Amino acid sequence: MKTKVLHLIGHLKMGGAETLITEYALKINKEKFDIVIVTTSSRTNSINETKLKKEGIRVIFLGDNDIFQNPNNKLKRLINTFNRYKLFINLVNVEKPNIIHTHLRTIPYVFAINNKRKNIKLFYTVHSEVRVLFKKYYLRIMSKYCIHRKGMTPIALHNRMKQEVNTFFNTNTCIVLPNGVDMNRFKNIKNSKTELLDALHINKDAFIIGHIGRFVEVKNHKFLVSLFADFKKKCHCAHLVLVGDGVLKEQVKKQVIDLGIQDRVSFLGQRGDIPELLNIMDVFVFPSFHEGFGNVLIEAQAMGVKCVVSNNVPKDAFVTNLVTPISLNDSIEKWSQAVNNLNPTEKNARDLSKYDINHIIRKLENIYIKSLIR
């Protein structure tokens, strides 16, 4: 009999946690596990959703059954939220999962479930900095209750995060499971660099600085654009490629226009060809204020791309000699020099094997199986 696992997350747009869950569902052993993904929001027809649908993975969108569509006041939004809680509780009763694996800010959905009576094992992956993720008081209280009273096992992405989780929630049950990357995607590039540059209308001789990430405050796009404007003064053939979408995208576009560099900046939106895009980059710049792990940094290293990154990114993601960490307290001039002064380095992916998604999923399967025989 298969073990049924419900993965619970806010949405399946492009993002580190969302892409990781998609990979879990696609690559887990289907003979042993039945995976159902539940999102608390409505369907968005994202790249991740399309992949899952193509492979026949069930995705249930609680937001598709909202009482009020596009609510314009807090009361209606609150009613929708409680309706989604009710829908999830009913869903658990129908699906009868063996395991519920929650992600990001979905703890309130499992808070009201009597998982012990139903014999459901709970897991929660911490995808971001602990004190940032649990900034809201109710999330801290609910999470602590679920850990101590419901037996929920927290999963950290690296050892430092594990220590923080154990201290923050006064527990010793947190385990480590790094994010994984499909290394095979970076070995078989479909399009040549020249072909893709031509398709993107970028000069084939351009020096390309790239970034992949949601347009949200933590990714620090404002600093990145200022850095590029400074670097462009030294390297007139420089071109900035920004991959992703998000709430701050229009603000960043305005900054680019105000600086008069719009002819040298490409906004590519959500893309499914990340290996090909990394292949055209001369330098990957990652100036985040903080990261849970930084999956895309592993992907950049897998492609052999030089990386200039904030030293706020977890050092566990600094796997190869391709990474140059710099403090955000340092000047833009110093960042610009780091981008400009990268020495040629041989591609070094030999240390990345422990982050291969297939290796990580085998570990996840063992975690699930052991929890059920306790």
Q: pLDDT tens-digit profile of 55-105?
A: 999 999 999 999 998 888 899 999 999 999 999 999 999 999 999 999 999
Identify whether the C-beta of residue 190 lies closer than 8 Å to the C-beta of residue 168.
Answer: no
294 & 361 share domain: no
Neighbours of 346 (CB within 10 A): 8
In this prediction, residue 118 has a pLDDT band, given cuts at 50, 70 and 90, of: confident
- Residue 131 is predicted with a pLDDT of 81
Question: Are both 317 and 202 inside the same structural domain?
Answer: yes
Same structural domain, 172 and 206:
no
CATH number of the domain that 90 lies in? 3.40.50.2000
State whether 215 and 157 are in the same domain: no
Are 209 and 169 in a shared domain? no
Numbers of helices and strands, H then E, in the chain: 15, 13
The residue range of the domain holding 360 is: 3-180+356-372
Q: Are residues 330 and 245 in the same domain?
A: yes
Distance, in Å, from the CA atom of 327 to the CA atom of 309, rounded to the nearest integer, reads 8
Are 2 and 8 a contacting pair, CB within 8 Å? no
- Does residue 127 sit in the same domain as residue 193? no
The token pair at 24 is 């879990």
Q: Which residues contact 253 (CB under 8 A, 6 or more apart)?
A: 262, 267
Six-digit token pair at 55?
């492979």
- DSSP-derived 3-state class of residue 170: coil
pLDDT per position as a tens digit, 142-157? 999 999 999 999 999 9
Among residues 331, 224, 215, the alpha carbon closest in space to that of 270 is found at: 215
* Helix (H) or strand (E) run with residue 38 in it: strand 33-39
Instruction: Give yes or no: residues 221 and 310 share one domain.
Output: yes
Rounded to two decimals, the pTM is: 0.87
- The b/e string for 188-225 (b: 16+ C-beta within 10 A; e otherwise) is eeebeeeebbeeeebeeebbbbbbbbbbeebbbbebbb
Q: What is the pLDDT of residues 220-235, one digit of tens each?
A: 999 999 999 999 998 9
Following DSSP, what letter does each residue of 193-253 receive, concatenated? Answer: HHHHHHHTT--TT-EEEEEES-SSGGG-HHHHHHHHHHHHHH-TTEEEEEEB--TTHHHHH
Assign 298 to helix, strand or coil. Answer: helix
Q: Which residue, 23, 32, 26, is CA-closest to 4?
A: 32
pLDDT cut 70: percent of the chain above it:
97
In a shared domain, residues 41 and 104: yes
Among 162-171, 185-194, 214-223, 250-259, the least confident range: 185-194
pLDDT at residue 1 tops 90:
no
Same domain, 127 and 176: yes
pLDDT greater than 60 at residue 344 = no
Of the pLDDT bands very low, low, confident and very high (cuts 50, 70, 90), residue 343 is low
- Residue indicated by tokens 């330098």: 283
Whole-number average pLDDT of the chain? 92
pLDDT at residue 347 above 60? no
Domain count, the chain: 2
Q: 225 and 113 in one domain?
A: no
What is the reported pLDDT for 349? 46
Which amino acid is present at 282?
D
Are 321 and 363 contained in the same domain? Answer: no
